[in-house]
Amino acid sequence: MTMPGRLLDFFSLEASEYLTRLESLAAKKAMEPSDATQFAAAARGLRGSATMAKAGGIVQVAMTVERIGSGVVHGATTWEPELQRALIGVIEDLKLLVRSVRTWGVDQDARVEESLRRLARFAPARKEQTEDLIIPIS
């Protein structure tokens, strides 16, 4: 990851704030609808910040966490102890990844893959569009 130092400083600070919010929400025994909305929003913020910093591995994990949060918001995913444990572990991984953003290497890539593997069963499948969508302009 080669980005200007100031951008990475800002990313590290902003990402840490999002991760603190995600961690506090994930630690709750039950996920109320308003908490689920905040959880999805924090994951979206983390994804956006990582995208701006070109932190691709963090983007992938944050996007998956965001999909899970949105699934909880829309009732497609149930908040259960296994999901909670997986998310708490992945949030810890994300903290380590954010701290390693300047020295990214194969260990971080492996951590990203492991995090994605742990979340795979909880994340709703992404709908991929295989055809061009034609939208009339008039």
Higher pLDDT, 33 or 22: 22
Q: Is 126 inside a domain boundary? A: no
Provide the pLDDT for residue 78.
Answer: 92
Given a cut of 50, whether residue 1 has pLDDT beyond it is no
Q: Is 89 inside a domain boundary? A: yes
What percent of the chain is predicted at pLDDT more than 70?
Answer: 88
Tell me the average pLDDT across 90-114: 96
Q: Is 132 inside a domain boundary? A: no
Given a cut of 90, whether residue 126 has pLDDT beyond it is no
Q: Is 136 inside a domain boundary? A: no
Provide the pLDDT for residue 103.
Answer: 93
pLDDT, one tens digit per residue, over 24-82 is: 999 998 899 999 999 999 999 999 999 999 999 999 999 999 999 999 999 999 999 99
Count of structural domains within the chain: 1
Q: How many CB atoms lie within 10 A of CB 100?
A: 17
Domain interval for residue 61: 5-119
Give the mean pLDDT of the chain: 91
Global pTM value: 0.85
For residue 43, give the CATH number of its domain. 1.20.120.160
Nearest partner of 25 among 14, 38, 16, 15, judged by Cα: 38
Provide the pLDDT for residue 124.
Answer: 64
Q: Is 102 inside a domain boundary? A: yes
Q: In whole angstroms, what is the distance from residue 131 CA to residue 60 CA? A: 24
91: which 2 tokens? 């949030």
Provide the pLDDT for residue 125.
Answer: 60
List, in sequence order, the alpha helices (H) in 29-122: 33-52, 56-73, 81-99, 106-119
Band of residue 123 on the pLDDT scale cut at 50, 70, 90: confident
What percent of the chain is predicted at pLDDT more than 90?
Answer: 80
